[in-house]
Structure 1
Amino acid sequence: MRERNEVPAARRAVAAGHRPGGGGAGREAFLEAIGVSTSSENLRDTPRRMVEAYREMFSPRPFDLTTFHNDEGYDALVLARRIPLRPGN
């Protein structure tokens, strides 16, 4: 069961890490607040990996828009309903 003081400590750590020029102290404090120690040699690079994971998760993937010819001159959203689907396709 989580103790009551864990969440505020994690919030403070995140806030400290989001300040421009805040360095890695906020990231390390966040990890420690949720119970991840960065004192081990194997976990020392965890704050950097955490930042890279968040950067990847919150970066949109590139995509190509699909456009269709508008010979009918529609100027509003066209909604198609009850499109029949065949099983197995």
Structure 2
Amino acid sequence: MKNQKKSRKRKSIDIEKIRLAVEMIVDALGDNINKEGMKDTPRRMAEMYKEIFSGLYKDVKKEVSLYTTKNQDEMIVLRYIPFFSMCEHHLLPFFGYVHIAYIPANDKITGFSNLLEVVDTLSKRPQIQERLTTDIADTLVSQLKPMGVLVIVEAQQLCLYMRGIKKPGVNTTTSAVRGVMKKAITREEALNLIGAGKDK
């Protein structure tokens, strides 16, 4: 058997490799990388990728801090959390809003800013909307251990607008339901509080 090189997990984004790759893409397109408007594009794109894919190098579980409060077993809802992500199929953006509802267990809650950080970290990776939705829900389940979680993601996908079928204006909605949120009456309460799609 041939010795196979073990791939080492990268600890940060390789800015120089991205810069060189962009130069190669521009050259393959037949454009002039040295023209006035484009000569600094490889560096700018590398810096942009470092920012918009920064979630690759964060442990999302560390974004969730737990707090204990008395008699806290009522539903907690965050609506219209804005996000931007990149579809891993074509590296084109998709963006929109995340809605989160959860019911704490054992008086354990997390800060609102922690929920925003979870969305931010998970969206700043090559993603697909379906996985982003379940990743958010499963992160909250594993860290908060709540009675139930409901996550809804509403998005616009530029890969549907700019290429292929080319249907601007199409919105996509995905959901993940965990725990007691699977009960119709509980889920209905969460959906009424979220009012997804009604006032944006």
Larger radius of gyration: 1
Task: Determine which structure has greater relative contact order: mean sequence separation of CA pairs < 8 Å that are 6+ residues apart, divided by chain length.
Answer: 2
- Larger strand proportion, structure 1 or 2? 2
TM-score, normalised to structure 2, is 0.25
